[in-house]
Structure 1
Amino acid sequence: MISPECIWPLGTELGEGPVWSKADKAVYFVDIKRKHIHRYETETRETMTWPAPSEPGFIVPASDETFICGLRKGLYRFDARTGSFDKLVDVEHDRAGNRLNDGFADPQGYLWFGTMDDGETEPTGALYRVGDDGKVALRDDGYDIANGPAMSPDRRTLYHTDTRGQTIYASDVGEHGALSNKRVFVKVQGSAYPDGMAVDAEGCVWVALYTGGCIERYSPDGKQIDTVAFPCSNITKLVFGGDDLRTAYVTTAQKGLSEAKRERETLAGGLFTFRSPVPGLPQNVLTRGLVRAR
């Protein structure tokens, strides 16, 4: 029985997007609604918070020792040493109600990210990949909330989520990041919504369930094989870290909780950790497209 521990009860409104920094031995993540970037150093337990210019949907480490951060309407370079944000490229000027959402670096060093209708009602969200030229290329469309992109260990399958539609898709990844053969990987039942994901070394997919109070682990053929229960409802994403990649770090959220639930779920919005029975995949860093030459 896996028992998560809350290591930082900071009470984020919408904690999201944890990434692991091996160099810092730290977890970086965002609070979208409060416009914050957070860092938790795992050995010292020291914490740091930076204000962002607008809602940060994700933060991804780059090989030039900075981060690429998806703010509300564009991609920015974030330097934790100075706290500065420098705009790189605008995204979706033609979709005024949208904002950027979840993102990740694939094993080849390319950035993938999703967008969403900020009102969470219209299918105006999309899935994008940034190419070697730094341009943002559309890869899929028609989501209310495009979420959780993650990739299989053999780099052949991209998992991506339609959160409001309660569906996790799998697509074949071809040359230059082209997607094909889109298919349902898992259809989540009940009142829970699939959010962020991570893939482990065995190719199993770990999915955070918003309003579901848990993370579920699925085999590569889509069968549920494990569940990790949490003492709060809104689980948003996990990342594998630590020296052996068996320590999971998990973000949660208060958004959507009633006042009564906020009082009961005292750890909602905290950063959690648990030990995984298998290691995860190493944290990828961005090396293509928007990264500065060193």
Structure 2
Amino acid sequence: MKNLNLDYLESFRVVIESGSFSAAGERLQLTQPAVSLQVRQLERSLNATLIERVGRKARPTAAGVALLAHAEQISAAVTSAVDAVAQQTTGTAGRVRLGTGATACIFLLPPILRELRAALPGLELTVTTGNTPEIAKAVEDNTIDIGLVTLPVSGRSFEITPVLNDEFVLIAPPDMPLPARITPAVLATRPIVLFEPGGNTRRTADEWLARGGVSLKPLMSLGSVEAIKEMVRAGLGCAILPGMAVSAKAKPRDLAVRSLSPKLYRRLAVVIRRDKRLDRGLRQTLSALKAIAAQDDDR
């Protein structure tokens, strides 16, 4: 009992959560035999059988259920202890690698990151931009810690928390004649600039157009919201953009901004691996991103 191995305890917890040794191995980035060995070692140290197979599913025995009830508390206590030591020895709050889209990075994250840095001056924070599939893959591969992405996204290893509904809008040169309702049929008669293919933002716009019976070839496709704005300012056409890019604070005076009909939204979510160990910095970053949902409800 004095030699209870925390890695073995974590492997046991993930096996139960995943339902199999092979799935746990994928999440822990270990081979299935290595996970099995760790669980056997844990059972040997406790002198108890912790897991039984029911069909193809790995389930906890009565002893396993008893241990599982304490596993989360043990993990939280260890994380808290590591944080406390880090604060005393280095003054740091850990490292957080955040991934998100360029639009959210420009228009949503700055005040959130400013508050985080004020609360945790020693936090080492890096931000990577990319489309949703790229960010989700990086979270799954553990090359970034947490993602703020556009739904849909899926993965057995993910904890996914929706946080924001972002309404799409049309931007156009002020002198472009526009009817009262901006429908897909209206845009079929206008030159239009869209996001580059491959991301959920472009897919969402394409699906909205398709539901209106419109399949159009954009004048051009770009990967930058600011570049798209400049093309519209130059009078080359109109564009569909996420609303956060032209919110009340960011709304440009030299562009017309109109709602779409029917309205169109994208849903942003926070994505993190279920087995991710949360140090102080990552825990507070996760809380700050999840708090976006409350701010959205207040608007």
TM normalised by structure 2 equals 0.25
Higher Rg of the two aligned structures: 2
Structure in which a larger fraction of residues adopt helix: 2
TM normalised by structure 1 equals 0.25
